[in-house]
A and B are shown apart, each in its own frame.
Chain A
Amino acid sequence: MVEPVLRVQGLRKRFGGLAATDDVSLEVRPGELHALIGPNGAGKTTLIGQLTGEITPDAGQVVFCGEDITRLSVAARVKRGLARSFQIVQLLDDDTAEANVALAVQARAGHSFRFWRAAGRDAALLEPARALLEQVGLARHDTRVADLSHGERKLLELAMALAARPILLLLDEPMAGLGAAESLAMTETLRALKGSVAILLIEHDMEAVFALADRITVLVYGRAIATGTAEEIRANPAVQDAYLAEESSP
C-alpha cells in the first residue's frame, strides 16, 4: 500500500465543554482530492488549524509524509509542503495582489534575511508570482487587495497557497461567498490541479464536492462519521440523517 501523504490519528480538541475535534482519524493519499464536509460548527476549520499547527491538539497525532509533525510550528510545516487557504481571507490588504504572491514566493525561496537589494522589482519573485496569478485566473495583478472583490480574494488565497509548492493543499471553503459563475471557474481550477497535488477540500457546495472529490469524509459534532467515495457517502444512511438531508432542503 502507498504511504499516505497525511495520516491523522485519534485527534482531539476541546474548547471548554465542547468537543470540537472528537477522536478524528483520517488519511489523505498522494494526489487524492479528499473532501471534508459537515454542517456549520462541525469542527472542520478547527481540524485544519490542528493540521497546520495554529491550534495544538489535546491528544492524537498528525503524520505528514511519514513524519510526525504534531509538535512542529506553522512555518516549519509549510516548509515541508503543507499549505492552506483561509475560510476568512487572510491577506496583506495594503499591498497589490502581485506583491502578496511575490512575498509567498519569497518565503518559499529560502530565508529572508536579505537587507539590501530591492525586492519590489526582483524578477525572480515577480515572474513566478504572475504565473501563479494566471494559473488561478486572477487578472488584476496591480490592484490593492483592499480594492479586490471577494471572489478575487478567494483566488488570491489559492495562489498564495500554491506559491508554497505544496505536497498537500488544505483548502477551507474556497467557494464560500462566490457567485455561480465564480464557483464553476473555481471548480475548473481545482480540477486542473487534481493529481499534481493532494488536496483536502472543505466545502459546503455539494455540487463541487461531488464533482471533484475522490473520497469524502463527513464530520459531525467533531466526529468523523463516515469516509468513502461519493456514491458510498450519498448512500450512507447515517450521513443522510446527520447532514445531507438538512443541507439539501433549503
Chain B
Amino acid sequence: MRNALPLAVLLAGAIALPWAAEALGQPATIGLATRILCLGIAAASLNLILGHGGMVSFGHALYYGLGAYTVGILWEHFRLGEPIFGVIPGSNELLVTLPIAMLVAGVAAAVIGALSLRTSGVQFIMITLAFAQMGFFLFVGLKAYGGDDGLLVRRRNLVPGLDLRQPDQLYWLCLGFLVAWLFLQWRIVGSRFGRVLEGIRQNERRMAAIGIATYRYKLAGFVIAGMGCGLAGALTANELRFVSPDLMAWQKSGEIMVMVILGGVGTLLGPVVGAAALVGMEYVLGGITENWQFFLGPILLAVVLWAPGGIMGLLGRGARRG
C-alpha cells in the first residue's frame, strides 16, 4: 500500500496522544479526543452508505442514540437488579453491551431501511429523518429511562484487563475499535459487495440492467452502517456516562453528515478527519463565542464551493503538488 507510511505515522501519533496530553498538562483533551474517535466511527459508517452507496440518510444519529441507550438501559437494569421485561438481565460488561448495541441498531436499520429504501432522492432523505424523529420522541416519552432528562450511567462498563475509569484506557479502546472498523470498511469497499454499492451510487439503472437486484444490496449496506453507528453510540455512552434523546436528534444526524462532507465524501479517513475538525472547531470557536455555529455556516459553504473533496481532497491536492 502506497499510503502505508503516512497511515503508520498517523496511528503512532494517535496512540501517543494521551501521553502528550499528560505531558502538556492538558488531560481533558483525552476525553475530547475519545469523543472524536466515537464520532469518527459514526461518520465513517454513514460514509459507507452516503459516500459509497449514494444513500443520503438524514437519520443516522438514530442508530447512534440506540447504541448509546442500549448501554444506558442495560446499565440501569443491572443497577436495579431488575431484568428487562422480567426476562433479559441488565449488564455492565462491555463485551456484552457492545454486541447487543450493534444488534439493536442493526435490527432498527433493517426495519427502517426495508421501508425507506423503497423510495429515493428527497423522499428517502425525508423518510429516514421522519423515522429518526419518531425514535427521538419515543425516548423523550420513555419516563422509565429518564425521558428528555436522559439516563446516567454512573460507572463505565467493565472489560477484562482494562480499567475504563482511566480516560487513557478508554481512549485506546475506542482507538482500537475505530481502527478495526475502518479496516473492515476498507475491505468491504474493495470487495464485490463494495463494487456493487459504488455502482449503485453511480448509476442504479445500469446496475439493474446487468442483473443486480439493487434493493437487497442497499439494504445490506444500510444495516452495516447502522451497526457501525450503534457501536459508536455504545462507546460514546461509556465516555459521557450519560445518554439522552439529544444523541439521536436531527441536529446530531446533521452533524454526522457535516463531518463526512467536511472530511471528504467517499474517502477512508475523511469522516474521522471531519469529526476532528468539527469537534475541534466547536471547542475552539465555542471558547470564543456561544454562537460558534454561526461561523460553521460560512466554513461549510467554503468547503462545498471550493473543496468539494473536503479536507482529504485538499490534502490530496497538496500532496500531488508537493
Contact = CB atoms under 8 A, between A and B. Distances in A.
Contact of A94 (B190, B196, B202, B208): B202
B199 interface: yes
Contacts of B214: 75
A74 B207 CA distance: 10
A163 interface: yes
A108 to B, nearest CB: 7
Most buried by B among A74, A79, A91, A94: A74
A122 B203 CA distance: 22
Nearest to B224: A115
A104 B191 contact: no
Interface string A109-122: 00011111111101
B79 interface: no
A108 B211 CA distance: 7
Given A75-B211, A84-B209, A90-B209, A118 B191 contact: yes
B194 interface: yes
How many residues of B sit at the interface, in one of the four size bands? Answer: 20 to 34
Nearest to A113: B193
B203 A91 contact: yes
Contacts of A116: 187-188, 191
A80 to B, nearest CB: 9
A37 to B, nearest CB: 23
Contacts of A112: 192-193, 195-196, 212, 217
B251 to A, nearest CB: 32
B17 interface: no
How many residues of A sit at the interface, in one of the four size bands? Answer: 35 or more
Interface string B201-225: 0110111111111100100100000
A75 B191 contact: no
Contacts of A86: 206, 209
Interface of A: 52, 54, 73-76, 78-79, 83-84, 86, 90-95, 99, 102-104, 106-108, 112-120, 122, 160-161, 163-164
Given A117-B191, A160-B210, 7 more contacts: A54-B208, A73-B208, A90-B203, A90-B209, A114-B192, A115-B191, A115-B194
Interface of B: 187-188, 190-196, 198-199, 202-203, 205-214, 217, 220
30 contacts: A54-B205, A54-B208, A73-B208, A75-B212, A75-B214, A79-B211, A83-B209, A83-B211, A90-B206, A93-B203, A95-B198, A103-B210, A106-B192, A112-B193, A112-B196, A112-B212, A112-B217, A114-B193, A115-B187, A116-B187, A116-B188, A117-B191, A118-B191, A119-B190, A119-B192, A119-B194, A119-B195, A160-B209, A161-B209, A164-B210
